Structure 1
Amino acid sequence: MINRLARPMLAALCLASTAASAADLVPVADFARRMPLTSPSLSPDGQYVSLAFHDPDGKTHGLAIYRVGDMSKAVTLIRMPPYEAPAKIAWASPTRLVVARGKVDGSIGRTMLTGEIMSIDVDGKNPDYLYGYQAVGKRAATRATDEGWGEIEGLPVQNNGHFYMRATSWLDQNRSTLYDVDAKTSTRKQMADIGIGGMSFMISPDGQARFAFGTDDSFRWVVFHREGSGWNKLSGSAQQQNFTPVASVAGSNRIYAKYSPDGKGGAFVEQDEDGGNPKIIRKDDFSEVSASGLWTPAPLRPFGTIADTGIPQPTYIDPASPIAKLHMALSQKFPGQFVSFVDYSEDGGQLMFSVSSDREPGRYMIIDTKTFKVSKLFDAKPWIDPAKMSERRPLRFKASDGLELEAILTFPKGKPETNLPLVLMPHGGPHGVSDDWFYEDDAQFLANRGYLVLQVNYRGSGSRGSTFEQAGYLKWGTRIQEDLIDGVKWAIAQRFADPGRVCVYGASFGGYSAMMVPVRAPGMFRCAVGYDGIYDLDMMYNKGDIKDRKSGRSYLTTVIGKDQADLAANSPTHLADKIDVPVFLVHGEDDQRAPFAQFKAMRAALDAAHKPYETLTKPDERHGFVKPENVEEFYNRLQAFLDKHLGGDRPATAQAAP
């Protein structure tokens, strides 16, 4: 035990150690590398763990299966075609897996489902093509009428070699059909069918589809309840906006659900299927609420909840329950980290969990729930030393119209928290997406180079409820940008930031904002970096993948509108003459979400306005660079650009805040 006199000396030693480590400059290559292993899933018998693997080249991905207790060599390693990756992996039995194929859409995009479902044995043998568009596999003879878009919807509570598949036939895209599929024989049985596309299903422990829900082609949230052989559409409620069924309560007619009360924040509830006898488990006026990482073994029950903003702090439903006590014990063992229960063996004897934080990208471990022996599986990014990373601090401030917003500040390690050069980093999306407290490469890289990073969850972002998200509709170039500018003013007023050294860097919608905020706040910024950004709003109706589906076109109409004058007034390509700072444009030439035409249009607009700019483009890159050498080059160019215009660690001449 440390005595009271020793504590000050220990604290001083800790501070000295921290100050020394602050001088460490982490190699840019460490931030450029992507996680080699993702999406771990535990086999039903607890003997194996399946993962998506990613080679360092950024091009090759596939399925890896390891024996628990020996992560040194994969039992099975299956490489997929270039830029294809497992989008989802599920164990249908201890020896049979199901894989949803996907396309890697760049580092700031996501792995896009191709609609194809494969199955394979744990040893890599007996592969089969269960669903998709190719005429291969056991069902090849019926592929002409069988082709479509499939997704893994879930697994039976009792492991039986089957899985649940949601499918949309290409012959009738206005239907969502649910099947019980034998992963070995590929035979299937229809479980449910509803005449609307893009729906997800909530399946009860007894294998019955009880709810269908999702966004319809008009970009409206809809929920249907199964009644007999038909579906009853639930009427929308102002009190329960974006109502979402989550899971059935085993052995009853009750469910867990979440919604946004009167559109503000969130609530997690237990209630009857028909909505009766509601019991609020947790409610938060500021934040949406979830039970992410806090579920028991199947049949699933939440044992705790967290708010989706701030630093995650679990609230336990029954703190005296064994599962809650286990979570509390692990949280004490890993202080300052969030413990997430990822997966269980079928008997609950083996639990895979992860620990992560603002400085820890993630560690995955197995615990025997009977002996409590913990074994390490793997680190998400083993080359990252959390001790060298920077604190990410969620704070709140009020926008100029009085609305409370969340900001996340990443402070350079070992530096005073005053008068720092600031990089505003708006997130992409913009809707339904938000920045959070957890580790992020961009923010940590910039902080390691001496910059204070400011991320603002502006209105329109997710995690705050439906009213907050909808408040950003038709406000892309106006109120959203004002929120970002208000965040900079707040950081300056708090004396965190030097008002003479502020730049903006963003990707996707953040790239759009990087061009817009200098227009909306002339004189505030010293430079702007747009990465795979959207710069011409009207072009979204003609180029890019959003326009390819009716729901995507409805989304555009809802969030940016179709008024040509308004679109032009809020497009950086039409405002280049008002951009009063040096610009750095970065783009992947094969980007499908923000097509390369957006880059060309912005470059042409800057040329016409005789504005200074730099560029970096790469072929064979999509929405965000994935090849490590390209990411490393981008980071080096980004640092040089910021250092050039913000002066690195040199304070600017004091000036009044804008």
Structure 2
Amino acid sequence: MTLHRCSTGSSPAWSRHGHREGDGAKPSSVRTGSQWMPPHLREWKMKVMVRLLLLLALLPLQGFAREVPIQDFFKDPEFTSISVSPDGKHMAVTVPQDDRTVLAVLRVSDQGVVGKWDYGENRHFRQVLWANNNRLLFFVTFKTGRFDFETSKGDLYASNIDGTGRLDIPNGNYYNIVDLTPEDPDTILVERSVETSFLFKLNVNNGRTTTVATAPVEQGSFLVDHERKVRFVSGAMNDGRNVTYRRDGDKWTLVHESERNGATYFPLGFDAENKRVYMAKGEQGKPETIVLLDPDTRSETVLSSNGIVSPSAYLWSSDEKTLLGVWYEDGVPYWDWVAPDHPETKVYAGLVKAFPGKAVRFLRPSQDGRYFAMRVYADTMPSEAYLFDRDAGQAKFLAASMDWIKPEEMSPMKPIVVKARDGLSLHGYITIPKNSEGKKLPLIINPHGGPHGPRDDWGFNPEVQLFANRGYAVLQINYRGSGGYGNAFEGMGYRKWGTTMQDDLTDSVRWAVAQGIADPNRVCIYGASYGGYAALMSVVREPDLYRCTVGYVGVYDLDAQRSADFMEHESGRNYLKDVYPPTAAERMAQSPAYGVERIKAPILLVHGEKDVRVPIKNMHFLISQLAKVGKKPEDVIVEKKEAHGFRDLQNNVNLYTKMLAFFDKYIGPNAKTASAP
């Protein structure tokens, strides 16, 4: 197979050429020292010196990387998703544009625009699917902040690829798409969960539905076999219980039930014989193993297991009858090929080998399996999209999401394992500035948001790369409570937001110091959302460990979150009931605002005035609590038109300019680091 990258131009490359200025003999008219030199030779000598100085100025200094402009890290990417039509002739591309995301359909042959959709301010396309070669389905969600997650699937629409025949599907915001039923291009199967789960057949041309089945699951997901018969439903109850039912005739039989952070057992799909079922099984909340279950004998054949992380994606054959690969994000992500002899697996595996050192994700193939899109990325490289033609054995370059980012200027992201004080293994990443020796560096620890469900993973991270580009090592640790490591690991963080979860951050910093990576007198902590909470709670619990802290749209009073937008839903209220400390006294003890007297580190606070995910009253209350003990933040950045994370490019440039100045002041090259604060 061959790989072709089409480009409109090439980057300039500096080359050094030695120009012979004679045979090496000293010119007879040149005198040494302060002696006289003919004017024309003085002019020649000056030109040579100027050329030399210019050349030296153009060459990077040893040990220093170019300072990449802040805006380069936060400009909107050229695309966020690409999907290919069943016949491989068109592709649907979502493109972020300031306060919205737009959708376009392009011809694969020449990338000419066929149709375009824009639903306005704060509206974003999610899950764009091809109902058939001429008709698209897509959800359009409402999102106001960079760190927001949508509280619903969004409104569901259908349209012809040229923009005609647009249809707003009633109640579509409650639907999940179950099966595209390629044998019937006019209909798809969708599910809706409102106290009870319903499975419908939806006509994509007129939006009409026909009920197929109902199930006793409040947030359920149906599985149909290759004949489109309903066989399973799995999901969650509003109180957090996990359940799985099997369809026996007209009845549902409960085959699994567990608490929110307990064991998992849910179906993925059926084998080629339409009998055995692929199941994801996490015993006692451990990371999930993929097994092939025989429903008649209840026997299971283990197909894939990592032991540290659960699978995060699956790759099926083009006829959807064979599970080919399982995607694990354990350190550097990889595919585990569970059907290595399948002819399609051999193609996919060959393409992975064609991109060494990079991660390769495969998107839904064309109906005949000939074409499929793939996304290629790395820790130092934002996503690139390719279209592979199996018949030709060629991958065509489609687009780079951020082609202005130069991978050779970025810093590598190394997977690490840290032992917490109680012996628990914590997985994460350390990013060392490019061209540094990796020792005694200023360190920024950057806890992720969430906290339950999200995790840090390997790939291009604009914030991390910006900090590394400015000379800071960046530490990201998946503390207990993070997602991806099994339900039990996630459950270890429940009701421990301000205690053992913070200890995990402390232990990871001490690991970095013990490894010689971090200078113990030059450590700051920065995070957003729950990460902002952790940034302030850490300096409450460990006042002598950090020289500064930055809280960005952070939670500082746990009870203030009871006015957040997700509390409008029963599932959101039950979630806080399970994960929050149960008593008011415990919530106060685990809220940074009630521990301000212990804080020694300088504070930078950042918030959007329109934030409904973490209301700005969190920040105002923290500031008032600081004032009571004679303290105040060194700086407060509030943007009136921003919400849960800044989106405007200039606002982001201003924010990170001030943030970098803050870090430079306390842990930068000229900071006073004789002792911790």
**TM-score normalized by the length of structure 1:** 0.89
- In the TM superposition, what whole-angstrom CA distance separates every residue of 1:197-251 from its partner, at most 9, and x where no partner exists? 3222223222223222222111222222222222222233799912222222233
Checking the alignment, whether the CA contact within 8 Å between 2:364 and 2:373 is kept in structure 1 is yes
CA gap of 1:608–1:154, structure 2 versus 1, over 3 A, is farther
Match 1:568 to one of 588, 612, 618: 588
Match 1:506 to one of 494, 510, 527: 527
State the SS of the aligned residue for 2:305.
strand
State the SS of the aligned residue for 2:86.
coil
Q: CA RMSD in A?
A: 2.3
Separation in structure 1 between the aligned mates of residue 187 and residue 246 of structure 2, nearest angstrom: 24
The AA in structure 2 aligned to 1:156 is T
Separation in structure 2 between the aligned mates of residue 581 and residue 60 of structure 1, nearest angstrom: 38
Please give the residue correspondences for 1:4-15 in structure 2 after superposition, counting only pairs within 5 Å.
none
2:432 is the alignment partner of 1:399: no
Corresponding residue for residue 9 of structure 2: none
State the SS of the aligned residue for 1:506.
strand
The AA in structure 2 aligned to 1:41 is S
Corresponding residue for residue 121 of structure 1: 160
Checking the alignment, whether the CA contact within 8 Å between 1:588 and 1:620 is kept in structure 2 is yes
CA gap of 1:500–1:70, structure 2 versus 1, over 3 A, is same
How many Å apart are 1:313 and its aligned residue?
2.9
Corresponding residue for residue 163 of structure 1: 188
The AA in structure 2 aligned to 1:219 is G
CA gap of 1:464–1:363, structure 2 versus 1, over 3 A, is same
2:324 is the alignment partner of 1:303: yes
Corresponding residue for residue 379 of structure 2: 358
Match 1:325 to one of 339, 346, 360: 346
Match 2:300 to one of 255, 278, 292: 278
State the SS of the aligned residue for 2:152.
strand
- In the TM superposition, what whole-angstrom CA distance separates every residue of 1:228-279 from its partner, at most 9, and x where no partner exists? 2222222337999122222222332212121223323331111124681211
Match 2:628 to one of 608, 612, 625: 608
2:222 is the alignment partner of 1:201: yes
Corresponding residue for residue 266 of structure 1: 288
Worse-matched range after superposition: 494-503 or 331-340: 331-340
Worse-matched range after superposition: 215-224 or 24-33: 215-224
How many Å apart are 1:495 and its aligned residue?
0.4
How many Å apart are 1:503 and its aligned residue?
0.3
Checking the alignment, whether the CA contact within 8 Å between 1:157 and 1:298 is kept in structure 2 is no
Give the unaligned 5+ runs of structure 2. Answer: 1-58
Match 1:70 to one of 65, 89, 110: 110
Separation in structure 2 between the aligned mates of residue 31 and residue 373 of structure 1, nearest angstrom: 31
The AA in structure 1 aligned to 2:357 is G
Give the unaligned 5+ runs of structure 1. Answer: 1-16, 133-146
Worse-matched range after superposition: 19-28 or 112-121: 19-28
Match 2:126 to one of 87, 90, 96: 87
Worse-matched range after superposition: 479-488 or 115-124: 115-124
State the SS of the aligned residue for 2:174.
strand
CA gap of 1:498–1:227, structure 2 versus 1, over 3 A, is same
- In the TM superposition, what whole-angstrom CA distance separates every residue of 1:430-484 from its partner, at most 9, and x where no partner exists? 1121111111111111111111000111111111112111111110000000000
Match 1:130 to one of 162, 165, 169: 169
Corresponding residue for residue 10 of structure 1: none
Separation in structure 2 between the aligned mates of residue 396 and residue 627 of structure 1, nearest angstrom: 36
Separation in structure 2 between the aligned mates of residue 111 and residue 538 of structure 1, nearest angstrom: 22
CA gap of 1:76–1:233, structure 2 versus 1, over 3 A, is same
2:509 is the alignment partner of 1:488: yes
Please give the residue correspondences for 1:83-482 in structure 2 after superposition, counting only pairs within 5 Å.
83-113=122-152, 115-132=154-171, 149-158=174-183, 160-168=185-193, 173-236=194-257, 241-273=263-295, 276-292=298-314, 294-482=315-503
State the SS of the aligned residue for 1:407.
strand
State the SS of the aligned residue for 1:113.
coil
- In the TM superposition, what whole-angstrom CA distance separates every residue of 1:587-612 from its partner, at most 9, and x where no partner exists? 11111211122122222222223223
Please give the residue correspondences for 1:590-601 in structure 2 after superposition, counting only pairs within 5 Å.
590-601=610-621
Checking the alignment, whether the CA contact within 8 Å between 1:105 and 1:112 is kept in structure 2 is no
Corresponding residue for residue 584 of structure 1: 604
How many Å apart are 1:159 and its aligned residue?
5.5
CA gap of 1:148–1:288, structure 2 versus 1, over 3 A, is closer
Checking the alignment, whether the CA contact within 8 Å between 1:96 and 1:161 is kept in structure 2 is no
Checking the alignment, whether the CA contact within 8 Å between 1:498 and 1:652 is kept in structure 2 is no
2:576 is the alignment partner of 1:556: yes
How many Å apart are 1:334 and its aligned residue?
1.2
Checking the alignment, whether the CA contact within 8 Å between 2:361 and 2:375 is kept in structure 1 is yes
The AA in structure 2 aligned to 1:497 is A
The AA in structure 2 aligned to 1:30 is D
How many Å apart are 1:131 and its aligned residue?
1.7
- In the TM superposition, what whole-angstrom CA distance separates every residue of 1:160-207 from its partner, at most 9, and x where no partner exists? 132222224xxxx31221211111132222122124432222232222
Separation in structure 2 between the aligned mates of residue 153 and residue 400 of structure 1, nearest angstrom: 44
CA gap of 1:651–1:272, structure 2 versus 1, over 3 A, is farther
CA gap of 1:506–1:300, structure 2 versus 1, over 3 A, is farther
Checking the alignment, whether the CA contact within 8 Å between 2:312 and 2:484 is kept in structure 1 is no
State the SS of the aligned residue for 1:580.
coil
Checking the alignment, whether the CA contact within 8 Å between 1:178 and 1:191 is kept in structure 2 is yes
Corresponding residue for residue 88 of structure 2: 46
State the identity %.
33
Separation in structure 1 between the aligned mates of residue 452 and residue 205 of structure 2, nearest angstrom: 40
Separation in structure 1 between the aligned mates of residue 503 and residue 537 of structure 2, nearest angstrom: 10
The AA in structure 1 aligned to 2:479 is Y
Match 1:37 to one of 49, 57, 79: 79
Separation in structure 2 between the aligned mates of residue 20 and residue 354 of structure 1, nearest angstrom: 34
2:669 is the alignment partner of 1:649: yes
CA gap of 1:268–1:654, structure 2 versus 1, over 3 A, is farther
The AA in structure 2 aligned to 1:25 is E
CA gap of 1:270–1:562, structure 2 versus 1, over 3 A, is same
The AA in structure 2 aligned to 1:68 is V
**TM-score normalized by the length of structure 2:** 0.87
How many Å apart are 1:650 and its aligned residue?
4.6
CA gap of 1:585–1:486, structure 2 versus 1, over 3 A, is same
The AA in structure 1 aligned to 2:353 is Q
CA gap of 1:428–1:179, structure 2 versus 1, over 3 A, is same
Match 1:540 to one of 544, 561, 571: 561
- In the TM superposition, what whole-angstrom CA distance separates every residue of 1:547-584 from its partner, at most 9, and x where no partner exists? 11111111101101330000000001111222211111
Corresponding residue for residue 29 of structure 2: none
The AA in structure 2 aligned to 1:46 is G
State the SS of the aligned residue for 1:344.
coil
Separation in structure 2 between the aligned mates of residue 62 and residue 290 of structure 1, nearest angstrom: 27
The AA in structure 1 aligned to 2:89 is Q
The AA in structure 1 aligned to 2:178 is E
Separation in structure 2 between the aligned mates of residue 351 and residue 61 of structure 1, nearest angstrom: 23
CA gap of 1:318–1:601, structure 2 versus 1, over 3 A, is same
Corresponding residue for residue 7 of structure 1: none
How many Å apart are 1:111 and its aligned residue?
4.3
State the SS of the aligned residue for 2:408.
helix
State the SS of the aligned residue for 1:100.
strand
Separation in structure 2 between the aligned mates of residue 298 and residue 19 of structure 1, nearest angstrom: 55
Separation in structure 1 between the aligned mates of residue 340 and residue 564 of structure 2, nearest angstrom: 49
Separation in structure 1 between the aligned mates of residue 352 and residue 325 of structure 2, nearest angstrom: 13
How many Å apart are 1:22 and its aligned residue?
4.8
